[in-house]
């Protein structure tokens, strides 16, 4: 008998909190259901943390269930106050529309858009945008307690600095999404990050009170580094799914460089390898663990960017460590950008400012064709050379 998808998700450490756990497990054993997960268009690309959610939807789909991937064109106009001490910056309509379109495309790159349980990609602006405010209040107003809403941490943390009425509407809007998808798509399960627990509970309660029936939910653990901070979304260190924001090579390297203690967890959460195979791959120790990291980066890049991109990134990464310039990642810069080492560092995207570039030089971190850049006036007349930062970053630079 095939393993229940709920049991698989638990074994992989992908379930944090659950509504009606026993009943949900039984339901997923007996029936093929429709589930949904929402993503806000706060950027033009999803990030590594979003990949955890997409992989859960993909596992549900592989088990025969139908996933709905929702992009919050409407909720994105409000901004989720969860986990914040200040109000999220508002995004211009044109930018938000572009973000929505990009994220929809990313859904279909990870999830299967064909077959009887093909992913349904939706935008909640398509139904919330058509609602009058009185109609919205009629559905949610009598079925949501303000006292209960304010008891949740997502609002408590904002009360000190001033919770706007705009943000206060985020939870009712997300609850409305679950009710609407239940009515129109027979969606009975909402999945979300653990920081969405309060918003998800609001949707479960709205369906129960409005329709008199039970629906289900579970949350996912957040993708974190060893110190507990979120992975893949920090300023200057975001791991983007979109290749326009992050090259295939840099995406590969981001997972090739994960901390040793996180390797097995990343395999379980972000790849389709079986648990037994993961155990074998991760049984190595010391320097041999680098092979596991390489496999991890390859598997994740294959899922997000495609097999051809994963193979190329793998070849480029290996070339960097062996000094094989013919297969390294190529970065093109102009002649003006090659005037001196500081300009080269910035043009290659290794540093954002001249101050950052100088600090790399002071730290003896930069080499050109294996020659250490010892001062700020260092330059090269070569039109092709190997650029090295530290011990792990190598690529071939071509001056056009």
Looking at the fold, whether 50 and 125 belong to one and the same domain comes out as yes
Residues 277-297: tens digit of each pLDDT: 999 999 887 777 888 999 999
Within a domain: 229: no
Q: Transcribe 56-91 into DSSP letters.
A: HHHHHHHTTPEEEEEE-TTGGGT---TT-SSPPPP-
The distance from CA 395 to its chain's CA centroid, rounded to whole angstroms, is 26
- What's the domain count of the chain? 3
Instruction: Report the pLDDT averaged over residues 357-378.
Output: 88
Within a domain: 33: yes
Domain of 358, CATH number, reads 3.10.290.10
Q: Whole-angstrom distance between the N-terminal and C-terminal Cα of the chain? A: 60
Residues 109-124: tens digit of each pLDDT: 999 999 899 999 999 9
Residues in Cβ contact with 138 at an 8 Å cutoff, skipping those fewer than 6 apart: none
Looking at the fold, whether 175 and 62 belong to one and the same domain comes out as yes
Within a domain: 215: yes
Helix (H, G, I), strand (E, B) or coil at 316: helix
282-315 burial: b if 16+ Cβ within 10 Å, else e: beeeeeeeeebbbbbbbbbbbbbbeeebbebbbe
Percent of the chain at pLDDT > 70 equals 90
- Looking at the DSSP bridge assignments, the partners of residue 385 are 397
CA triple 190-192-198, angle to 5 deg? 90
- pLDDT band at residue 235, thresholds of 50, 70 and 90? very low
- Give residue 272's domain range: 248-323
Within a domain: 228: no
Q: Scan for tokens 């050379």, then name that residue.
A: 385
CA atoms within 13 A on the CB side of 256: 22
Instruction: Report the pLDDT averaged over residues 307-316.
Output: 92
Looking at the fold, whether 59 and 98 belong to one and the same domain comes out as yes
Looking at the fold, whether 122 and 265 belong to one and the same domain comes out as no
CA triple 298-300-305, angle to 5 deg? 90
Looking at the fold, whether 210 and 277 belong to one and the same domain comes out as no
Within a domain: 238: no
Residues in Cβ contact with 57 at an 8 Å cutoff, skipping those fewer than 6 apart: 35, 37, 67, 69, 111, 119, 191
E strands in 53-186: 66-71, 120-123
Looking at the fold, whether 62 and 186 belong to one and the same domain comes out as yes
pLDDT of residue 12: 96
Residues 315-339: tens digit of each pLDDT: 888 887 666 666 777 888 888 888 8
Within a domain: 242: no
Within a domain: 231: no
pLDDT of residue 225: 86
Within a domain: 235: no
pLDDT at 165 over 70: yes
pLDDT of residue 348: 84
* CA–CA dist 329, 321 (Å, integer): 12
Looking at the fold, whether 316 and 285 belong to one and the same domain comes out as yes
pLDDT of residue 57: 97
Q: Among candidates 72, 61, 60, 62, which has minimal Cα distance to 104?
A: 72
Domain of 265, CATH number, reads 1.10.240.10
Looking at the fold, whether 27 and 76 belong to one and the same domain comes out as yes
* CA–CA dist 309, 249 (Å, integer): 8
Helix (H, G, I), strand (E, B) or coil at 290: helix
Give the range among 58-72, 138-152, 368-382 with minimum mean pLDDT.
138-152
């Amino acid at each position: 008998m095939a393993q229940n998808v709920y049991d698989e998700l638990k074994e992989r450490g992908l379930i944090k909190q659950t509504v009606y756990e026993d009943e949900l497990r039984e339901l997923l054993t007996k029936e093929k259901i429709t589930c949904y997960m929402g993503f806000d268009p706060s950027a033009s690309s999803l990030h590594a943390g979003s990949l955890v959610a997409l992989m859960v939807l993909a596992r549900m789909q592989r088990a025969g269930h139908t996933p709905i991937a929702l992009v919050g064109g409407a909720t994105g106009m409000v901004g989720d106050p969860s986990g914040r001490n200040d109000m999220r910056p508002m995004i211009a309509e044109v930018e938000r529309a572009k973000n929505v379109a990009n994220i929809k495309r990313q859904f279909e790159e990870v999830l299967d858009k064909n077959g009887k349980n093909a992913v349904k990609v939706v935008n909640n602006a398509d139904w919330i945008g058509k609602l009058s405010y009185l109609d919205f209040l009629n559905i949610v107003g009598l079925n949501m307690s303000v006292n209960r809403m304010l008891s949740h941490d997502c609002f408590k943390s904002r009360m000190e600095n001033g919770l706007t009425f705009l943000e206060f509407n985020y939870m009712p809007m997300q609850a409305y999404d679950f009710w609407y998808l239940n009515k129109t798509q027979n969606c009975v399960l909402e999945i979300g990050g653990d920081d969405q627990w309060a918003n998800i509970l609001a949707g479960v309660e709205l369906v129960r009170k409005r329709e008199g029936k039970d629906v289900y939910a579970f949350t996912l653990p957040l993708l974190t580094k060893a110190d507990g901070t979120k992975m893949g979304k920090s300023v200057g260190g975001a791991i983007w799914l979109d290749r326009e924001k992050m090259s295939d090579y840099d995406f590969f390297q981001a997972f090739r460089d994960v901390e040793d203690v996180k390797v097995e967890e990343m395999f379980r959460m972000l790849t389709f390898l079986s648990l037994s195979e993961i155990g074998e791959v991760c049984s190595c120790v010391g320097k041999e663990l680098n092979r596991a990291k390489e496999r991890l980066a390859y598997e994740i890049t294959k899922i997000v960017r495609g097999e051809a991109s994963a193979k190329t990134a793998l070849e480029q990464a290996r070339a960097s460590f062996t000094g094989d310039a013919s297969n390294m990642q190529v970065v093109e810069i102009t002649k003006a950008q090659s005037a001196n080492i500081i300009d080269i560092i910035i043009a290659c995207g290794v540093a954002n400012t001249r101050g950052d570039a100088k600090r790399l030089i002071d730290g003896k971190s930069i080499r050109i064709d294996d020659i250490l850049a010892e001062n700020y006036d260092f330059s090269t007349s070569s039109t092709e050379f190997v650029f090295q930062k530290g011990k792990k970053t190598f690529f071939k630079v071509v001056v056009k």
